[in-house]
């Protein structure tokens, strides 16, 4: 009798545990899935890849721009394609926020991808938010970086917020504490901060983002680099603001050059050099990735998946935009 009761209690406990687990697990419609378009449109991902490769071949800098577009989208209310929306009478969008205006680019490439995908899928099947996430991955691969499976099934936001973009995207003037705090507010760790910053192995920065370092005698920027950048970036504000300088010596190749530059005090942005400035865990991670290229590639891919999964709209929330620049009812 005792054994029978014991078995029944064990079964009941197991059933209760399973019920609690089911309650704690989001419904299938709320989960992202790397195979989301396998049946709905098998041509979707190959089409995105083709257009990205064409764009990057024509202008290698575009790879870094599409990667940055994804980062700036995800850090403002999640990866929802809101950064793509033009202003309307009802809201001022993210394109004109301080971190984005005259800086974030690649919108025309996203437009081309959307048109090509709609044609390949014979309808409006793939969200703009998913296109941004996949285009970032394909850009990294096109420039020699690691591939990874992008979780899919995001839907597109119906609104955007300039104020949220101004407040959510970390600035190139941030110190390590503010950078870590910004990433932590999105559920990302110090390691995620260091490894995702490694995306600056690609691309360029505008003079306005690093001018203050060049003419500050107390700054730690390598003197020879500072002197060379002064030719690109004059002292006077407004003079050459949009002139560009590479963020590492090989801006069109995904490699460990970014971390090697930080070790030599040659991080172009203040926020980059902050990762190797005060000792501690961040310094150790920079040293590790500078010496271990395979680990950087692996951890970068993993961190991109985590970032790409920030607060997506799924299920019936949001919409799938026909035009990535405007919501469907406008």
Q: What is the pLDDT of residue 114?
A: 98
Pairwise CA distance, residues 293 & 307, whole Å? 21
Q: Is 152 helix (H, G, I), strand (E, B) or coil?
A: strand
Q: Does 200 carry a binding-site annotation?
A: yes
Q: What is the pLDDT of residue 6?
A: 37
Q: What is the pLDDT of residue 218?
A: 86
Confidence of residue 279 (pLDDT cuts 50, 70, 90): confident
The dihedrals phi and psi of 319, each to the nearest 5 degrees, come to -155, 175
Query: Which residues, listed in sequence order, are joined to residue 313 by a DSSP beta bridge?
Result: 155
Pairwise CA distance, residues 153 & 15, whole Å? 31
Q: Is the pLDDT of residue 51 over 60?
A: yes
**pLDDT average, residue stretch 53-68:** 98
Confidence of residue 25 (pLDDT cuts 50, 70, 90): very low
Q: pLDDT digits over 108-147, tens only?
A: 999 999 999 999 999 999 999 999 999 999 999 999 999 9
Confidence of residue 316 (pLDDT cuts 50, 70, 90): very high
Confidence of residue 30 (pLDDT cuts 50, 70, 90): low
Q: What is the pLDDT of residue 131?
A: 98
Q: Does 170 carry a binding-site annotation?
A: yes
Pairwise CA distance, residues 145 & 154, whole Å? 24
Note every long-range contact of 54-57, with CB atoms under 8 Å and residues 24 or more positions apart, other chains counting.
Answer: 55/109, 55/112, 56/139, 56/142, 56/143, 57/142
Q: Does 80 carry a binding-site annotation?
A: yes
Write the CB contacts of 312 (distance below 8 Å, at least 6 apart in sequence).
32, 78, 79, 80, 129, 153, 154, 155
Pairwise CA distance, residues 240 & 106, whole Å? 22
**pLDDT average, residue stretch 300-315:** 97
> Any idea which residues carry the catalytic annotation?
72
The answer to whether 290 and 263 have CB atoms below 8 angstroms apart is: yes
For the question of whether the overall pTM of this predicted structure is more than 0.85, the answer is yes
Q: pLDDT digits over 243-274, tens only?
A: 999 999 999 999 999 999 999 999 999 999 99
Q: Does 201 carry a binding-site annotation?
A: yes
Average pLDDT over the chain, rounded to whole?
Answer: 91
**pLDDT average, residue stretch 269-291:** 96
Length of the chain: 330
Q: Does 78 carry a binding-site annotation?
A: yes
Domains of the chain: 44-168 (1.10.520.10), 176-307 (1.10.420.10)
- As given in the structure block, the two tokens for residue 108 are 């025309």
């Amino acid at each position: 009798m005792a054994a029978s009761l014991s078995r029944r209690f064990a079964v009941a406990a197991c059933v209760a545990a399973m019920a609690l687990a089911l309650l704690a697990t989001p419904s299938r419609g709320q989960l992202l899935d790397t195979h989301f378009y396998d049946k709905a449109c098998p041509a979707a991902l190959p089409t995105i890849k083709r257009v990205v490769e064409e764009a990057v071949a024509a202008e290698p800098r575009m790879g870094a721009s599409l990667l940055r577009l994804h980062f700036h989208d995800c850090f403002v209310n999640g990866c929802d394609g809101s950064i793509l929306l033009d202003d309307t009478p009802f809201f001022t969008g993210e394109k004109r926020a301080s971190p984005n205006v005259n800086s974030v680019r690649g919108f025309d490439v996203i437009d081309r991808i959307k048109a090509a995908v709609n044609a390949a899928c014979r309808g409006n099947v793939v969200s703009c938010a998913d296109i941004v996430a996949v285009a970032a991955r394909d850009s990294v691969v096109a420039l020699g970086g690691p591939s990874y499976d992008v979780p899919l099934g995001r839907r597109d936001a119906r609104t955007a917020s300039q104020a949220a973009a101004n407040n959510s995207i970390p600035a190139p003037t941030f110190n390590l504490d503010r950078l870590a705090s910004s990433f932590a507010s999105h559920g990302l760790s110090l390691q995620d901060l260091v490894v995702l910053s490694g995306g600056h192995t690609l691309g360029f920065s505008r003079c306005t983002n690093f001018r203050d370092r060049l003419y500050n005698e107390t700054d730690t920027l390598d003197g020879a680099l500072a002197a060379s950048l002064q030719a690109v970036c004059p002292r006077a504000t407004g003079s050459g603001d949009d002139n560009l300088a590479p963020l590492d010596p090989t801006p069109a190749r995904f490699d460990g050059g970014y971390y090697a530059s930080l070790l030599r005090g040659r991080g172009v942005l203040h926020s980059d050099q902050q990762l190797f400035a005060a000792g501690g865990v961040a310094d150790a991670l920079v040293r590790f990735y500078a010496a271990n290229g395979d680990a950087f590639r692996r951890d970068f891919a993993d961190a991109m998946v985590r970032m790409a999964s920030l607060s997506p709209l799924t299920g019936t929330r949001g919409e799938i935009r026909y035009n990535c620049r405007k919501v469907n009812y406008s």
